[in-house]
Structure 1
Amino acid sequence: MSGTRLDVLAIGDAVVDVIATATDDFLAAEGLTKGSMQVLDADGATRLYAQMRQARETSGGSAANTMAGVAALGGRAGFVGQVADDQLGEIFTHDIRALGVEFLTPPKSGGEPTGRCLILVTPDAQRTMNTFRGAAHELSADALDADQIRDAAILYLEAYLWRSAGPRAAMEEAMRIAHAAGRKVAFTLSDIACIKPHRAEMIAMLEAGAIDLLFANENEIRELADTPDRDAAIAAIQAKVPLLVATCGAEGALAVENGRAVRTPIARIGKGIVDTTGAGDLFAAGFLVGQAEGRGLEESLRMGSIAAAEVISHFGARPEADLKALVAAA
């Protein structure tokens, strides 16, 4: 978008992803439900980490993964998130900047350590996420750079961070700044666990016009609309937001803008499904880049589908192939 320095600026959990393989027996022994997401305290995170196999550690978090995808697609990405002044905070900062993502948030001293997400991937490619929020949920409005928000065509927010009062206040202030500057605000529902406790305020936020673009998967849209029927849920929510984008598993993805619905099938790349970690994050990356570049819904959906297909074809939540080349060739 002309007149902006960044295509997308995200606010989200600044955590270090620790990804390792695990067996079903290991999950059972640890009392973990496959495919679920649970929140850990510092002691629980330390104990589980000690039991994990050799792991890969990278800057992570849902919105941070999306910004890595935006940068990989050639978009101008920025990220706002709170880390601590510790070793994992240094890993996060170096890693996300090395990906080409602008990260200006100063580290915080004297509070919680940097957050981390312990991700266990079973042989069937399902990921079980165990998150210690740490410093990420100490983000405050004081950490925002108003000029950075004004300089981004799209402000992208994740529901994982919405659950804590301080970060929620920061997001609300960022939305105010973005809309005052004539920018668009996108919001991802992130996980069904984020929705039920905040359903009323999320619906109120949509009805107040605070969100221009809403991302959801089919389970999240059902939870938000409080109905078991996916199509009824989409119909209910699409009336409350200018642009709704929903991923529907094997059926592909759907975008509804002002009553006009566009669908795209899933893309198939490489060896198929190896690890589903980051699929929704990278789908959002492709769609956001398409929108920032002024592309239509069909092309934006296609870009999202390609980015998601690439990330699930290998281990980890970050793209490994040249996403720009894949989009150009498809």
Structure 2
Amino acid sequence: MPISLHTQILNSTSSSASFVIGLPQFSGTLCPPSNSRFPKPRFAVLFHHRNHDTKNGCNGQFGLCCSQTHHLMSRNFTHSSKPIIFRVGSTRPEADSEPEVEVSTHSSSASSSVSASTGDDPFRDASESDSEVEEDDEGVGDVERWDVLGLGQAMVDFSGVVDDEFLESLGLDKGTRKLVNHEERGKVLRAMDGCSYKAAAGGSLSNSLVALARLGSQPAGGPVLNVAMAGSIGSDPLGEFYRAKLRRASVNFLSAPVKDGTTGTVIVLTTPDAQRTMLAYQGTSSTVNYDSGLSSLISKTHILVVEGYLFELDDTIKAITQACKDAHSHGAIVAVTASDVSCIERHYDDYWEIIGNYAHIIFANSDEARALCNFSSKESAVSATRYLGHFIPVVSVTDGPRGSFIGVKGEVIYVPPSPCVPVDTCGAGDAYASGILYGILRGVDFKDLGTVAARIAAVVVGQQGTRLRVEDAVELAGSFAFHLQNSTI
């Protein structure tokens, strides 16, 4: 990372600022919001989930036609080129006599089935390359310094297409996100008995890290990037699955499994009208323990990215606060993802404790940015970007088809959307965040960061699936390197 850019970001943090943003009640000198100054948000809770794609197939997916769906939660996964085959009504894999396994692919209106031959890999998704699959069993190796370390929830997504009657039978409100306990999760999975579904190493943060690792997989415009993630997975098959999928994508999951822990899951139910209902079972995935191992990782990290969903538990908030403190002491850049409006509403003061004191970068969409500012929905995205920019050196706010905004020290740069034919907007914000991180690591000027990010996001919007494909990442990185060399981004 260029020292000048790194120093510029680190030296920009301030705890207060004098400004006028056009609303009399917010004029003057303000400190980051606290209980005494800013009330809890009073507007309706909105849900924005960019990290799941059930309509067009999740990243890292495999499908199994299986009567006993819930038994997959405890089965051992086999890393090989041969599909795992389950006979309907059985909880045990079939012998080698079965030549095919049913794999489910979904559209917005219905689901269809295609067959995968025994030569196909059920763990492989469309965004992976042959080289990534071949590297599946390679170790981490000795890494002197991590360019980016993500700290977040390690959740495995289970997604399937259902009808409205299915949701009604379980008393679920369509289009919402709900935390469930172990018993509630089991009830839903039993109701899905006999359905085809997909499993993926999901999560908004992991999408961003995978895109960044693929962009930095070649020495284009700089050295190969070292990307890692830390979090919490259980000592169960789902934890092994999650680690293996990230490793294939050159993202090293460095946290040891929690003994007797249960890896978190998100059940994503998509109705024919393309609305997604999400049921999150956190397990041990939302609990991050700050130990000597994590402290050591942070001590050799350039950029620490903290996922907003970690604010859900008090003990985890303590851990990420310590992580941010240590990152500061070691001269690292701290980035925070807003993650979700409802999460911001529930943990408003905790968010500001972190971003007001430690964050150098904040990633948000326009609704999340307004929630962080305690603005009503009538306020513009540019106003929210400008406001946040007085507390956080670099502010990244996406605003859908209207483009995006980059706030730098209170100044706002508008970034028009990069041209593309939209196919699926799921994952666009995650890709955009990867572009900001990539641009910083490659020394892109602040005024051009959004352009780089918008181009990456446009590629993801123009495809099915939430993750940047390897071939697209290599092509983009080469293009960026050329333009950087010629100063034409």
Shared fold (TM-score, shorter chain, > 0.5): yes
Cα distance in 2 for partners of 1:139, 1:41 equals 19
Aligned length: 326
> Does structure 1 residue 213 correspond to structure 2 residue 353?
no
> Of residues 82, 86, 90 in structure 1, which corresponds to 2:232?
82
- Alignment of structure 1 residues 298-313 onto 2, 5 Å: 298-313=447-462
**1:39 paired residue number:** 179
> Of residues 292, 296, 320 in structure 1, which corresponds to 2:445?
296
SS in 2 for 1:96: helix
The answer to whether the 8 Å contact 2:436/2:453 transfers is yes
**2:43 paired residue number:** none
Q: Which of 252-261 and 116-125 deviates more?
A: 116-125
Cα distance in 2 for partners of 1:21, 1:249 equals 25
AA in 2 matched with 1:108: V
> Does structure 1 residue 19 correspond to structure 2 residue 159?
yes
**2:204 paired residue number:** 62
Give identity over the alignment, percent.
30
Cα distance in 1 for partners of 2:461, 2:183 equals 31
**2:28 paired residue number:** none
Cα distance in 2 for partners of 1:34, 1:253 equals 29
Alpha-carbon deviations, 1:161-215, whole Å to 9, x = none? 121122222211211111111110000110011111221232243333x111011
- Alignment of structure 1 residues 65-144 onto 2, 5 Å: 65-74=207-216, 75-111=225-261, 113-122=262-271, 125-142=274-291, 144=293
In the TM superposition, residue 45 of structure 1 has moved relative to its aligned partner by 2.0
Cα distance in 2 for partners of 1:167, 1:204 equals 14
TM-score (norm 2): 0.62
**2:370 paired residue number:** 222
**1:235 paired residue number:** 386
Cα distance in 1 for partners of 2:162, 2:369 equals 30
Cα distance in 1 for partners of 2:476, 2:274 equals 23
The answer to whether the 8 Å contact 2:230/2:255 transfers is yes
AA in 2 matched with 1:63: L
More helix by share: 1
Cα distance in 2 for partners of 1:268, 1:126 equals 26
In the TM superposition, residue 120 of structure 1 has moved relative to its aligned partner by 3.1
Question: Where do 5+ consecutive residues of structure 2 fail to align?
Answer: 4-143, 217-224, 481-489
* Two-structure CA RMSD over aligned residues (Å): 2.4
The answer to whether the 8 Å contact 1:238/1:256 transfers is yes
Alpha-carbon deviations, 1:26-77, whole Å to 9, x = none? 4455444444322121222223234454222121222122111111211421
**1:245 paired residue number:** 396
Cα 1:156–1:166 shift into 2, 3 Å: same
